[in-house]
Amino acid sequence: MSKISLKENLGQMLMIGFNGTTLSDELKEMIADYGVGGIILFSRNIESMSQVKDLCNSLQELSIRSYKIPLLIAIDQEGGRVFRLKPPFRQYPSYGELGRTGSEDAVRSNALLMADELIEIGVNMNMAPVLDINTNPKNPIIGDRSFSADPDVVSRLSAYVINAFHEKEIIAVGKHFPGHGDTFSDSHLELPVVNHKIGRLEEIELKPFINTFKTGLRAIMTAHVLYPALDPDYPATMSERIITDILRKKLGFNGVVITDDLEMKAITNNYSEKISAIQSVKAGVDILLICNSRDKQIEMFNSILMALESGEIKEDRIEESLYRIARLKKDFIKT
């Protein structure tokens, strides 16, 4: 692929959030001029089923008209306290509630019903299931978003969610690699640190990821968490040791890697937009998630572009991500 075509397709590595419930001029520009490859929806974007369905259709039509490439349209729809589709959309129990029942049938039926709703409105990617292990009762952010404190239970029930989503052609995104379950702080507010040794991480935190890779998980979201035993310098999102050496090479994951929101304070309190964008791509991430600020979305795009032009980011690193994103879209999105 030539450097010119790399530049033209670089926006595929961005997934953005926005304000409003319609296709604004600013959002049109991000899709038509910057070629962003993904959109994430929040409650602020949703008024009704008909409105959000029209919005998703408009987004897809613009992307296909501009680039002949469909968008990933994502949402955080876990159930329990993390959901974006308010009533009259169906409300779902948390993973913790489902995990306590141990019912595989309940997990699968909930996931199928959820997938049907997402299909109806035009969403093709769900930032779920949560693969974190609920080992720390003082964790302020995970808790009942996890199926269990037992990695085998999390592995088993998550596989039912993933298979149900994929059966309906909704892309499942396992999160938060390599594990956010045993933190004492919230990465939305600060940078958590997990001091476990490698052996413990492999036995507990990594186990659901390893197991669901075997059952067909195609996308994961990174954790904005520092794991000194794995990389003393960078949180997982920005760590080449974690994303490339462990996730890609050791565990053999060849799917799409998405950052958690790069506007969370775990990142912004410690790194500039330029550094977080460039270092995440160099680490092996495929898609940068930027959920709010249009200015930061453009700044991160330009930072990657300049790093590509200067040679700081190698062309083959970009080509790898573009290939993985294109393959995922081809396999799941019918246009």
Mind listing the pLDDT tens digit for each residue in 72-81? Answer: 999 999 999 9
Looking at the predicted structure, is the pLDDT value of residue 4 above 60? no
Q: pLDDT category, 334, cuts 50, 70, 90?
A: confident
Looking at the predicted structure, is the pLDDT value of residue 273 above 70? yes
Looking at the predicted structure, is the pLDDT value of residue 107 above 90? yes
Quickly list DSSP for 131-142.
Answer: ------TT-SS-
| Residue of 150, 186, 188, 245 with catalytic role | 188
Contact 260, 289 (CB under 8 A): yes
Nearest partner of 157 among 129, 180, 134, 118, judged by Cα: 129
Contact 38, 321 (CB under 8 A): no
Please give the Cα distance from 16 to 11 (Å, whole number): 10
Q: Give residue 138's pLDDT.
A: 85
Q: pLDDT category, 2, cuts 50, 70, 90?
A: low
As a whole number, mean pLDDT of residues 298-326 equals 97
Q: pLDDT category, 183, cuts 50, 70, 90?
A: confident
Annotation says 188 is catalytic = yes
Annotation says 286 is catalytic = no
Looking at the predicted structure, is the pLDDT value of residue 3 above 80? no
Q: Give residue 322's pLDDT.
A: 97
| Residue of 260, 286, 295, 316 with catalytic role | 260
Tell me the three state secondary structure of residue 177: strand
Residue 171's beta-bridge partner residues? 125
Nearest partner of 38 among 55, 59, 21, 24, judged by Cα: 59
Q: pLDDT averaged over the chain?
A: 95
Please give the Cα distance from 191 to 174 (Å, whole number): 20
Q: Give residue 106's pLDDT.
A: 97
Q: pLDDT category, 184, cuts 50, 70, 90?
A: confident
Share of the chain above pLDDT 90, in %: 91
Positions of E strands within the chain: 14-16, 38-41, 72-75, 125-126, 171-177, 219-222, 256-258, 288-290
Looking at the predicted structure, is the pLDDT value of residue 335 above 60? yes
Please give the Cα distance from 166 to 161 (Å, whole number): 9
Mind listing the pLDDT tens digit for each residue in 111-132? Answer: 999 999 999 999 999 999 999 9
Q: Give residue 6's pLDDT.
A: 80
Mind listing the pLDDT tens digit for each residue in 206-229? Answer: 999 999 999 999 999 999 999 999
Q: Give residue 252's pLDDT.
A: 97
Q: Give residue 328's pLDDT.
A: 98
Provide the b/e sequence for 221-257 (b: ≥16 CB within 10 Å).
bbbbbbbeebbeebbbbbbbbbbbbbbbeebebebbb
CATH superfamily placement of domain 3-332: Glycoside hydrolase, family 3, N-terminal domain (3.20.20.300)
Token pair belonging to 188:
């939305």
Provide the CA 192 distance to its chain's centre, in angstroms.
Answer: 19
Cα angle 132-219-322, degrees, rounded to a multiple of 5: 145
As a whole number, mean pLDDT of residues 242-262 equals 98
Weakest mean pLDDT among 3-17, 34-48, 232-246, 293-307: 3-17
Residue 73's beta-bridge partner residues? 39
